[in-house]
Structure 1
Amino acid sequence: MRTRTIITLALTYALLGLMMNSVGIVILQSIAHFGATKLMGSTLEACKDLSVVAASLLLVAAVPAFGYRWSLVAVLVLMATACLLASFATNFIAMQALFVLTGLSFGITKIATYSTIGLIARNPADHASITGLVEGVFMGGVLAGAWIFGWFIDAGDWLRVYWLLAALCVVTSCAWLGIRLDEAPVPVAKRSASVAAGWKDMLALAVLPATVAVLATLFLYVLIEQGVGTWLPTFNREILHLPATTSVQMSSIFVAALALGRLLSGLVLRRVAWLPVLLACLAALALLVVAALPLAEGVRPRADTGWANAPFAAYLFPLIGLFLAPIYPTVCSVALSALPQHRHAAMIGLIVIFSALGGTIGSFVVGLLFQSLPGAAAFYFLLVPIALVALALSLVRRRIAGVTA
């Protein structure tokens, strides 16, 4: 039953991640299909991100009260309905509504997912391993989403992809109905907590030195990941002079590297302490940035450039995802393992909020640097948050014992 729970949990999280990260594709298709402007398309990012934050603030107490398993079932049923309706969309407002619901659902799913990991993990090492596995499958879902949407776009009716997504949501919700999850470790008093009590618990956690160190680490991590993920296609197109289609396709190397890195970290962290692993990853990350970016200088445009003859930097630079990948799930796991189960939802709410802020600021800062600096110089900025993450991790290690029930 435990293995079945982990598999269903990972697939649920990956399915919501696929829909969350389809925003770029949907913007592109909405411009062509609904006649949306680029400014209108950009509102989809706000629809999903603000909804995630809203879910974290408003539902942090409601999710434990409703139950983690039933919360996930409800989310999947809601998204199946939303996807089915979206497949018949006739205007851009339908896409905005879809991403509002997707953001709310993802916020609930993240709270329920990480809280459930806390219920089924046997010890901190097991917690870190399961978290790495779940996050790895999540990135696999994101990678699969790009190709799934691509198939339906090539077929000429991209909205039919939502029939498939609705069906997957229904199947996954049925899988949850056959699982029994023991939520007894969450006290009854905490399950019936009000929204105000949930905020109070979040604020109480937020002032702890260990929490500050954890949230700073995660903020900086997401700043790096989203900064790279958002602007890697532009890097490929403008710096490496790849064709537009190839630029987008080759950016999937970064997502694949993230997925592989998280899956591998789940195995490594069963045997090796987390801090040495993450510090080694950061060192490798910095070396890879320094090694890859000079290779991007002086690349000249070629009419026949594709996967077979792309510049070496197009393959090397995205591999930073391999070393970046273990940081987020491991730090989340370390923080949650130090807390009693009834405080997990509040901590996850804080994690989601600061992750969203880091992603937004990271994309903006790297974009601003791309506009202001020549060549690949914008990505050298990543060395600053990489160094700060190393410092923050050492603080997390020292302070985490101060987090008490």
Structure 2
Amino acid sequence: MSNQKIRISLFLNYFVFAILLNSVGILIQKSINSYHVDELQASILEAFKDLSIAFVSFFVGSFLPRLGYKKGMLAALALVFAGCLTMYFGNSFATVKLMFACVGVSFAVIKVSVYALIGVVTNDEKEHKSLLSSVESCFMIGIAAGFIAFPFFYSDTNPNAWLRIYLLLAGLIAVSFLVLLLSDFKADYEIPGTSVIDDFVEMVKLIKRPLVLVFAVAAFMYVMTEQGIMSWLPTFNQKVLHLPETTSIYMAVILMLSIALGRYLSALLVKKISWFFMLFVCLAGAAIIVWLVLPAAQNLAPRQILSFADVPVIGYVFPLIGFFLAPIYPLVNSFVLSSTEKKFHSPMASLLVFFSAIGGTLGSRLVGYLFKHIGGGKAFYFSLAPMAVLLLCLWFFYGFQQKQKT
């Protein structure tokens, strides 16, 4: 199979899962409004998604090359197809949790496959960073598409009408399954060890490398920040900015599109300027938005929202933090993957997904706790702490790269 066909398959699968995986923010809001759970209970949805990702990803990277990336992704698509139908017919907080567990298990396989295959279809570090940023940009476009699509299914007369979107999503998954099934998927990739147990041992040994340890911290901190904001932005818009439910979701699309734009531009710029310099500027920009913009949300008085022109300015400005956060995740991941031997890309991707999932779970739970106990207007200030840790991680990566050059 040509590299171009592999790339198309990676983009298509990532787009479909982007819609499902990151609907957690919408489902948190829906669970509070429709199933009458509180903020802390609703935040458990992130754990059902991310802990499933973490558990499966920790083991899947060591044997996925032996199973075959195509078989693994087909199984993942079949499972999430069943999860969508379960959500549609179940219509309860319990089935929301079950659906996200299916999505988490499936996405672990998809993401490890995508990250490992990027190493197969690229020839150098700059091309690797560019393609990974492009794939992650496509992922954010998928998230934005989901945030736009969900409110189209809302109805003032039928409280269950929104569930119909899961029939649409099941149809998209079926299309993705058929495209992958009919592809002549043969990629040239290496297997880490001589047996499945040996593969797993080789993956665990990677954790001892200083580069991997710092990378684990960086991935954990970044996803804690991004997922905390992404999952709770619709609720922030509704409870703090006093926007209607549908408007609060539409306004969250600004975050997804700003992340997509940031990753698209970084995919172009990384070939021309230092990625370290780019990320230092991005972290500074994100911190400035948190520090200067969030105070405007304090004690904001409710007002009638009849159109997007009535939305407070902060509703447009704060989501732009995504533009500055956007390049960090794909560029750091690409740096570490391209600094690792290609035969270890699958187990390395497995560790990446594992630590990212744990970070996402804790980030959402922490924001849910802060929303309940100190209020949504102050909850997002927590993101300044992981940003500071990320800055230290970048200094380490810079030093590591300079040593490699000497």
Give the TM-score, by structure 1 length. 0.87
Q: Does 1:300 pair with 2:298?
A: no
Aligned alpha-carbon RMSD (Å)? 2.9
Q: Say yes or no: does 1:161 pair with 2:165.
A: yes
Output the CA distance in 1 between the equivalents of 2:240 and 2:116: 42
Alignment correspondent of 2:204: 203
Using the TM superposition, name which of 379-388 and 77-86 deviates more: 77-86
CA contact 2:275–2:331 (8 Å) conserved in 1 = yes
Q: Which residue of 2 aligns with 1:107?
A: 108
**Structure 2: distance between partners of 1:371 and 1:90:** 25
CA contact (8 A) 1:87 1:159 kept: yes
| 1:171 pairs with one of 169, 175, 189 | 175
Map of 1:122 onto structure 2: 123
Structure 1 position 389, deviation (Å) = 1.1
Once the two structures are TM-superposed, the CA of residue 310 in structure 1 deviates from its matched residue by 1.9
Long gaps (5+) in structure 2: none
Asked if the contact 2:76–2:106 (Cα under 8 Å) also holds between the matched residues in 1, the reply is yes
Letter in 2 for 1:295: A
Contact 1:65/1:193 (8 A) holds in 2: no
Once the 2 structures are TM-superposed, how far is the Cα of residue 220 of structure 1 from its aligned partner? 1.2
- SS of 2:319's equivalent in the other structure is helix
Q: Which amino acid aligns with 1:330?
A: L
**1:73-128: per-residue Cα shift (whole Å, max 9, x none)?**
23223333443454433665544433222111000111101001110012111111
| Separation (CA, whole Å) in 1 of partners of 2:353 and 2:82 | 25
Q: Does 1:17 align with 2:21?
A: no
Give the alignment partner of residue 193 of structure 1, picking from 180, 192, 195: 195
How far apart, CA to CA, are the structure 1 residues paired with 2:251 and 2:230? Answer: 11
Counterpart CA distance in 1 for 2:93 and 2:53 is 20
Aligned to 1:71: 72
Quick one: which amino acid aligns to residue 157 of structure 1?
A
Alpha-carbon distance in structure 1 between the residues aligned to 2:147 and 2:275: 31
Q: Give CA-to-partner distance per residue, 1:351-405, whole Å, 9 cap, x none.
A: 11211221222223334444555784443333332222112111022235889xx
User: What is the match of residue 362 of structure 2?
Assistant: 361
User: Which range moved further: 323-332 or 205-214?
Assistant: 205-214
Relative to structure 1, is the Cα distance of residues 52 and 234 closer, same or farther in structure 2, using a 3 angstrom cutoff? same
Alignment CA distance shift 1:300-1:361 (3 Å):
same
Code of the aligned partner of 1:240: L
Q: Could you say if the C-alpha distance between residues 235 and 286 of structure 1 is closer, same or farther in structure 2, counting changes exceeding 3 Å?
A: same
CA distance in 1, matches of 2:20, 2:376: 33
Q: Tell which deviates more after alignment, 258-267 or 290-299.
A: 290-299
Q: 1:395 to 1:61 in 2, by over 3 A?
A: same
Alignment-derived partner of residue 188 in structure 2: 184
Q: Which moved further from structure 2: 220-229 or 78-87?
A: 78-87
Match of 1:147 in 2: 148
Aligned counterpart, 1:382: 383
Alpha-carbon separation, structure 2, partners of 1:48 and 1:375: 23
> Relative to 1, partners in 2 of residues 1:361 and 1:152: Cα closer, same or farther, differing over 3 Å?
same
Contact residue 47 and residue 96 of structure 1 kept, 8 A: yes
Determine the C-alpha separation between the residues in 1 that align with 2:385 and 2:43. 28
Q: What amino acid maps onto 1:176 in structure 2?
A: L
Matches for 1:48-87 after TM superposition, within 5 Å? 48-84=49-85, 86-87=87-88
Residues 43-52 or 353-362, more deviating = 43-52
8 Å CA contact 2:263, 2:327 repeated in 1: yes
Amino acid at match of 1:210: L
Query: Helix, strand or coil for the counterpart of 1:103?
Result: helix
Aligned counterparts of 1:282 and 1:46: Cα–Cα separation in 2: 26
Contact 1:136–1:259 (Cα < 8 Å) also in 2: yes
Give distance in 2, aligned partners of 1:238 and 1:31: 12
Q: Secondary structure at the match of 1:153?
A: coil
Bigger shift: 384-393 or 74-83?
74-83
The change in CA–CA distance for 1:271 and 1:59 in structure 2 (over 3 A counts) is same
**In structure 2, how many angstroms separate the alpha carbons of the residues matched to 1:295 and 1:29?**
26
Amino acid of the structure 2 residue aligned with 1:252: V
> Superposition pairs for residues 21-32 of structure 1, below 5 Å?
21-26=22-27
Contact 1:53 1:353 in 2 (8 A): yes
Choose 86-95 or 17-26, whichever is displaced more.
86-95
CA distance in 1 between counterparts of 2:100 and 2:299 reads: 40
- List alignment gaps of at least 5 residues for structure 1: none
> Equivalents in 2 of 1:396, 1:94: separation in Å?
42
One-letter code of the match for 1:249? Answer: Y
CA contact (8 A) 1:76 1:173 kept: yes
What is the CA-CA distance between 1:316 and the residue it aligns to? 0.9
How many correspondences in the alignment? 399
Aligned position for 2:395: 394
Aligned 8 A contact 2:44 2:365 in 1: no
For 2:31 and 2:374, how far apart are their aligned partners in 1?
A: 31
In structure 1, give the amino acid aligned to 2:178. C
